[in-house]
Amino acid sequence: MGPAHWDDVEWSRNAKGELDAEWQFLGRAAGTAGVGVNRVRVAPGKLPTPPHSHGASEEAYFVLAGSGLAWQDEDVHEVRVGDCVIQVADHHEHTFVAGPDGLEYLVYGTRHPTEIGWLPRSRAIRIGWPWVEGRDDDPWEVEATGPALEVGEPKPRPTNIVNVDEVELGRDRHQTWAGFDGTELAGIAWEQIAPGQMGSVPHCHSEEEEIFVILGGSATLHLWPSPLRAERGAEREEHALRPGHVVARPPGTGVSHHFVAGDDGCTMLVYGTRRPNDMCFYPRSNKISWRGLGVIGRIEHVPYWDGETDE
């Protein structure tokens, strides 16, 4: 599946009581498999979700516009554009309260078939998709009838909330990036590619999944079919990207990817899962990396059917 652009993705609004936000399901539009990314706009002074926690899923938030408060475990902390908030599984109960100009962010999350969600005020538990507590009403309706969420004075920010301006930058070849620490299941980084230059070299993963969201500048996405796919007629593809494009690279496609920045460079968010059994293939050098073993080797390509017989 090719890139999706958020201008073409429908908004879905959920407004009940103090909860009022619009959602774009960007990962679904781009074709993600085991992870998701949504764009969320929260109305001024409102909450996007009830306070909640996840038993298995890990979430990463990146603030695009506006301001507000990150509410976690009954304390609040100021957030602004460029902030990244990491919520690991089975830890803080959390939500946001939008500031006077509203709050807009991207939220990334891992998906788990046995996920359990917990809403402490309505005492509702979600296992997979159903809500359980021996009732069939909507817990968000219960949240809407209860008292407003208590919000005290902001406290100093904990280590799971950090701005891109506060992270030491890394540099390699034509890339500059700020990686956000604290994740366990996936990684997230802010990255810039120099004008006219290539970012990471062409590669594809067997188990890891990656999502790229273009924040600024422009780029061209290059897709390389594997040698076997190329022998069967698959061709390379190029896609022009601008701010708002979302690129999903699910695992096991056999199609490598890389980006070449436009004349004004390219800024993007890079999100990817961490799987110890992942194998990464580099088509230009015919190298394979076995992540869990810390080993890289080079292969000699042999057509799939060489040496095969009909016997």
Map out the domains of the chain with their CATH numbers: 4-163 (2.60.120.10), 167-298 (2.60.120.10)
pLDDT in the model for residue 131:
73
Q: What is the average per-residue pLDDT within 276-291? A: 90
Helix or strand (DSSP H, E) at 140:
helix 139-145
123-148 tens-digit pLDDT: 788 776 667 764 557 888 888 888 89
What predicted TM-score, i.e. pTM, was given to this entire model?
0.89
Task: Decide which of 123 and 209 is more confident.
Answer: 209
Element of type H or E holding 29 = helix 26-30
Least confident of 94-108, 134-148, 206-220, 241-255: 134-148
- For the segment 97-116, the average pLDDT, to the nearest whole number, is 89
| 119 compared with 149, residue with greater pLDDT | 149
Whole-angstrom distance, CA of residue 205 vs CA of residue 273: 10
Residue 162, pLDDT score: 97
pLDDT, position 100 = 97
pLDDT recorded at residue 121: 82
pLDDT of residue 134: 46
Mean pLDDT of the chain, nearest integer: 90
37-89 pLDDT, tens digit each:
999 999 999 999 999 998 889 999 999 999 999 999 999 999 999 999 999 99
The residues with which 60 forms a beta bridge, in sequence order, are 86, 108
Q: What is the pLDDT of residue 44?
A: 98
Residue 229 token pair: 């796919």
Are the C-beta atoms of 7 and 214 separated by less than 8 Å? no
Given a cut of 60, is residue 309 above it in pLDDT?
A: no
pLDDT over 50 at 310, yes or no:
no
Query: pLDDT above 70 covers what percent of the chain?
Result: 92
Of 54, 208, 50, 213, give the one whose Cα is nearest residue 142. Answer: 50
Region 274-290: what's the mean pLDDT? 90
73 vs 111, higher pLDDT: 73
Query: Which secondary-structure segment (H or E) carries 86?
Result: strand 83-87
